Amino acid sequence: MLPADGGGPLIDAGLDSAVITLPRHGLFLLQTTDFFYPLIDDPYIMGGIACANVLSDLYAMGVSQIDSVLMIIAPSSKFSDKERDVILPLLAKGFENCAKRAGTRVTGGHTGINPWCIIGGVATSVCTQDEFVMPNEAKPGDVLVLTKPLGTQVAVVCHSWLNDDNRWPKLEPVITIDAMQGAYNQAVDFMSRLNKTGAELMLQYQAHGATDVTGFGILGHAQNLAKYQKNEVSFVIDTLPVIAGIAAIGTVMTGSLNIRTGRVPETSGGLFICLDETRAHEFIREFSAKEGYEPWIIGTVCQGQRTAQIKSDATILEIA
């Protein structure tokens, strides 16, 4: 976190989006970039997930109006001509249509060749100070709200093992094929959802800070957000909402597939938001009315040393 000095940055790249004070008109430039490798087989849906993931970093700042999106796309150097000609237009179309759903458009970007296929982009918004939420205002007594369940990457990875005679038998004691397919479908649905409603309500209900839960897992992102707080606070997570069936996988597959560690990566995950408790309940009611499901209060903000932890007896909520 860096102080505003009239023309210098207000927030550096340590959080979700850079926030830079512009030297004119009292405006701020909010900008983020992200890209990653495809997770699922459908290139059109994958393009949409990639765009939702890029936009999420601005949504985590309470920004709901995005001015411009650039697309970064690269086919694998191992693609045949036919594979390239089929896959790239679908990736691009999925990305572009997601941008349209967000109320913005793709204005440019870059293409190239890469050993692995990649899809991502850059999102930009120019805002006045009352059009975004500073991420460093958490106070003791706030509650922590999460807007999407955990378990997206575990669901995607383990779904790919259904036809793997070496890996799938390890999961059979804890999850059925039908439950695995259901978890995968739910993961794809949540990854495809925009965090725009959460961003709008963050601003409306005066959130004290937020981040989106992606590649560092819920604990990694909570710790990063905590260390930037102005007040001496810590985040205590006591509840983990998880896509149904996914938490059990951690009992037979440790490490990167064990949700309880808080380190399992997510893709296009939900917003992790610090809110006054009364406003949090209002946020949840309005979010539910707009999105069709309720987000969850998953913990509290207390006096502390700018750390985050998951309680050892944290409750697992199975989200079906």
> 7-54: per-residue pLDDT in tens?
444 666 567 788 989 987 889 999 999 998 999 999 999 999 999 999
pLDDT tens-digit map of 263-299: 999 999 999 999 999 999 999 999 999 999 999 999 9
Q: Output the DSSP codes for 113-133.
A: -BSS-EEEEEEEEEE-GGGS-
Structure tokens at 297: 């209060």
| CA-to-CA separations, 152 to 125, 200, 320, in angstroms, rounded | 28, 24, 13
Domain with CATH 3.30.1330.10 in the chain: 9-131
Residue with tokens 């210098």, as numbered in its chain: 8
Distance CA 47, CA 250 (A): 29
In the chain, the percentage of residues whose pLDDT exceeds 90 is 90
What is the rounded average pLDDT for all residues in the chain?
A: 94
Distance CA 280, CA 303 (A): 19
With a threshold of 0.85, does the pTM exceed it?
Answer: yes
Q: Which CATH number describes the domain made up of 143-319? A: 3.90.650.10
pLDDT tens-digit map of 32-42: 999 989 999 99
| CA-to-CA separations, 2 to 8, 14, 51, 53, 109, in angstroms, rounded | 8, 10, 28, 25, 29
Domain with CATH 3.90.650.10 in the chain: 143-319
pLDDT over threshold 50, residue 1: no
Q: What CATH homologous superfamily does 9-131 map to?
A: PurM-like, N-terminal domain (3.30.1330.10)
Q: Which residue has the higher pLDDT, 261 or 2?
A: 261
pLDDT tens-digit map of 143-183: 999 999 999 999 999 999 999 999 999 999 999 999 999 99
Closest of 168, 122, 169, 155 to residue 269, by C-alpha: 155
Question: Average pLDDT for residues 305-310, to the nearest whole number?
Answer: 98
Is residue 225 within 8 A of residue 132, CB to CB? The reply is no
Amino acid 4: pLDDT: 39
